[in-house]
Amino acid sequence: MFETPQFARELHRGEEPQVGALLEQVFAGRIEVDQLRKLRKSGAIAGEQVMPMGDRIVGYYALSYMVAPKGWLALAPVAIAPDMQGRGYGKRMIGMLTEWARLTSTPVVVLGAPDFYRKAGFSLDRATGLTTPFSGDHTMVAGVGDGTPTDTLIYPAAFGA
C-alpha cells in the first residue's frame, strides 16, 4: 500500500529522540540537535511541529521566540527526511506555517535557501530592511503584511549570534 505523510502536528512527548535522529541524518551532524536542546532548555521554543508517516517522523520544524523584535518568531531547524525530499512535503509543511503567519499577522523569520522558502510563502524582498547578524541574502520573512519592516533581529542565544 502506498503511504504518504500526514499533515504536520505538534510534537508529542517522547518523540524528541526521533527528531534528533532526523536532524542528525539531514544535517550530517549534531549542530542542529545541540542548538535545539539549548533552545528547549532556555525556554525559547514557541512550538515544534512534526510530519509523521506511519511510525516515522519524516518532517520537522521548530519556532523560537525572537529576543527582538518582540512577538516575532524564528523558524529553525527545518528538516525533511532525505528519502522524502523533492516530493513537495516540505513546501506543504512550511506553506501551512506561512499561511498561519499571514492569517494571524505573526512575523516569522527564516535564514535559508531562498528558492525553497519563497515557494513556501516567505519573502526575501520584505526582509531587505531588517538588520540581522546573519546573511541578509538568505533572511526571509512571512506574516509581516505588505510593508518592509526595518527592525533589528536579535535571536535567542542558542543561535550563536
The CATH number covering residue 110 comes to 3.40.630.30
Host H or E run for residue 40: helix 31-42
pLDDT at 26 over 80: yes
Write out pLDDT tens, residues 69-106: 999 999 999 999 999 999 999 999 999 999 999 999 99
All residues at 6 or more sequence positions from 104 whose CB lies less than 8 Å from its CB, including other chains: 143
pLDDT at 131 over 80: yes
Give the pLDDT of residue 136: 79
Task: Return the residue matching grid coordinates 509581516.
Answer: 144
Quote the pTM value. 0.94
Whether 83 is in a domain gets the answer yes
Whether 31 is in a domain gets the answer yes
Whether 160 is in a domain gets the answer no
Whether 1 is in a domain gets the answer no
pLDDT at 161 over 60: no
| Identity of the residue numbered 40 | R
Report the percent of the chain where pLDDT is more than 90: 89
Whether 2 is in a domain gets the answer no
Whether 161 is in a domain gets the answer no
Number of independent structural domains in the chain: 1
Would you say 120 and 157 are in contact if contact means Cβ atoms under 8 Å apart? no
All residues at 6 or more sequence positions from 144 whose CB lies less than 8 Å from its CB, including other chains: 105, 107, 123, 126
Domain range for 107 is 9-155
Whether 24 is in a domain gets the answer yes
Whether 48 is in a domain gets the answer yes
